[in-house]
Amino acid sequence: MLKSNLSRFPIAVFFLFSLLVVKPLHAEEVVVYSARIEQLIKPMFDAFTKETGIKVKYVTDNEGALLARLEAEGKNTPADMLITADAGNLWAAAQAGLLQPVKSAVLENNIPAHLRDPGNEWFGLSIRARTLIYNTKKVKPEELSTYEDLADAKWNKRLCLRTSKKVYNQSLVAMMIAEHGEAETEKIVKGWVANLAVDPLSDDTRALEFVAAGKCDVTLVNTYYFGRLMKKDPNLPLAIFWPNQNTNGVHVNVSGAGVTRHARHEQAAVKLLEFLSSDKAQNLFADVNMEYPVNPKIAADPFVAAWGGFKQNPINLVKAGELQTTAVKLMDRAGYQ
Ligand code: FE
């Protein structure tokens, strides 16, 4: 007995050695390129590292720069994951061959089908709703109904819109084309342009400020811009309206992520993606930017939830990408600058 135990001794020592020495040398990590700023991503990465021991390194920049960098680095990229806002951007990354499909029952279970790529190359992780905001002194909510109705002559010189150059509006119009077809959507967008109170504005916040100042009565923005403004000044005469509740629902988009085509830490990246869709990270991902969790089991932040529930448009967001060029051309023809 004693002899055979002794003969195992070197194996036991080697095993211990490998635990103490070899494992730390191969400590797992995952590298993320993120168009979301550090303060929006670091809390989730810290939680992930705490739970799994996998370190997360990250680079933040705007999505154009990150996509160009991924493309230039090709096979040599250190990045395992791309995080960015808007399905239009995620689709463009997939289209450029920068992402790879991930087959995961966890992701399929946590993320509704319309908020992820049917080809599994990108996954929505938080929902941003693009909805109507009106001046409470100038508009009664009963006057509002749908996105389409904003093309009606009754809104003449009462509408403010952000520029069509932003992907948010390109995605919105692309999704409208998916729903109504090109001819009908062009009519609607032409109607919007005819109803503009001022030329298209540079960003969503500016559009809200114009509505608050009474320069126009209603606009079309992502709700978190409304949230930011109202946190700063709760007395602004602004309120949310959820359009299309009797038809196809509010237009939603996502912030999301995908695993890069040339990921070196593919398994760790998939683990991180699954973690971001889980109940442990969903509030961290959504709440910091006043967005909505994609995981339907998770409730929104109370400040956001107070804006009320809404039915969302169920069309798959891949259309925001597929029809993006068509949308840009249509907005150009309609005179929407
Ligand atoms: Fe934004």
Residue 312 lies in a domain: no
Residue 197: the pLDDT is 98
Cα dihedral 215/221/225/227 (nearest 10): 90
Ligand 1 center from residue 221 Cα (angstroms): 9
Rounded average pLDDT over 76-87:
97
Give whole-number Cα distances, 107 to 79, 180, 239, 258, in Å: 21, 30, 34, 11
123 shares a domain with 30? yes
Ligand 1 center from residue 196 Cα (angstroms): 22
Comparing CA positions, the residue from 38, 84, 328, 76 lying closest to residue 185 is 328
Ligand 1 center from residue 213 Cα (angstroms): 21
pLDDT tens, residue by residue, 134-149 = 999 999 999 999 999 9
Ligand 1 center from residue 12 Cα (angstroms): 56
- End-to-end C-alpha distance for the chain, whole angstroms: 86
**Can you tell me the distance from the alpha carbon of 141 to that of 9, in angstroms, rounded to the nearest whole number?**
79
Residue 2: the pLDDT is 45
* Side chain identity, residue 129: A
Ligand 1 center from residue 86 Cα (angstroms): 9
Residue 8: the pLDDT is 55
Are 174 and 88 a contacting pair, CB within 8 Å?
A: yes
194 shares a domain with 321? yes
Q: Which residues pair with 312 in a beta bridge?
A: 250
**Can you tell me the distance from the alpha carbon of 173 to that of 152, in angstroms, rounded to the nearest whole number?**
17
225 shares a domain with 163? yes
Ligand 1 center from residue 166 Cα (angstroms): 10
The DSSP element (H or E) to which 126 belongs, if any, is strand 123-135
The DSSP element (H or E) to which 60 belongs, if any, is strand 55-60
Contacts of 184 (CB under 8 A, 6+ apart): none
Confidence tier at 67 by pLDDT (50, 70, 90): very high
Q: How far does Cα 289 stand from its chain's mean position?
A: 10
Ligand 1 center from residue 128 Cα (angstroms): 9
Ligand 1 center from residue 21 Cα (angstroms): 45
Rounded average pLDDT over 309-318:
97
Residue 3: the pLDDT is 46
Evaluate if residue 204 carries a pLDDT over 80.
yes
Ligand 1 center from residue 205 Cα (angstroms): 9
Rounded average pLDDT over 114-125:
98
CATH number, domain containing residue 106:
3.40.190.10
Residue 150 lies in a domain: yes
Confidence tier at 27 by pLDDT (50, 70, 90): confident
157 shares a domain with 80? no
Total number of domains in the chain: 2
Q: Give the percent of the chain with pLDDT over 70.
A: 92
Evaluate if residue 130 carries a pLDDT over 50.
yes
Residue 7: the pLDDT is 53
Ligand 1 center from residue 90 Cα (angstroms): 15
Confidence tier at 12 by pLDDT (50, 70, 90): low
Ligand 1 center from residue 129 Cα (angstroms): 11
274 shares a domain with 223? no
Evaluate if residue 247 carries a pLDDT over 50.
yes
218 shares a domain with 205? yes
Evaluate if residue 196 carries a pLDDT over 90.
yes
246 shares a domain with 160? yes
Residue 222 lies in a domain: yes
Residue 6: the pLDDT is 46
**Can you tell me the distance from the alpha carbon of 227 to that of 189, in angstroms, rounded to the nearest whole number?**
26
Residue 67 lies in a domain: yes
138 shares a domain with 122? no
**pTM score, whole prediction:** 0.89
Ligand 1 center from residue 268 Cα (angstroms): 28
Ligand 1 center from residue 267 Cα (angstroms): 30
Residue 309 lies in a domain: no
Ligand 1 center from residue 289 Cα (angstroms): 9
Output b/e per residue, 40-54; b: 16+ Cβ within 10 A.
bbbbbbeebbeeeeb
Ligand 1 center from residue 334 Cα (angstroms): 24
Residue 66 lies in a domain: yes
Rounded average pLDDT over 314-323:
97
169 shares a domain with 34? no
Relative to beta strand 123-135, strand 218-222 is antiparallel
Residue 326 lies in a domain: yes
> What are 329's two structure tokens?
């051309």
Ligand 1 center from residue 256 Cα (angstroms): 13
**Can you tell me the distance from the alpha carbon of 235 to that of 174, in angstroms, rounded to the nearest whole number?**
35
Supply the range of the domain harboring residue 61.
2-127+255-298
CA torsion sign for 116, 122, 123, 126 is negative
Ligand 1 center from residue 167 Cα (angstroms): 10
Average predicted confidence (pLDDT) for the chain: 93
Are 138 and 289 a contacting pair, CB within 8 Å?
A: no
Cα dihedral 297/302/303/308 (nearest 10): 60
Residue 40 lies in a domain: yes
133 shares a domain with 122? no
Comparing CA positions, the residue from 252, 223, 250 lying closest to residue 238 is 223
Rounded average pLDDT over 62-83:
97
Residue 1: the pLDDT is 43
186 shares a domain with 163? yes
Evaluate if residue 20 carries a pLDDT over 80.
no
188 shares a domain with 160? yes
Are 254 and 317 a contacting pair, CB within 8 Å?
A: yes
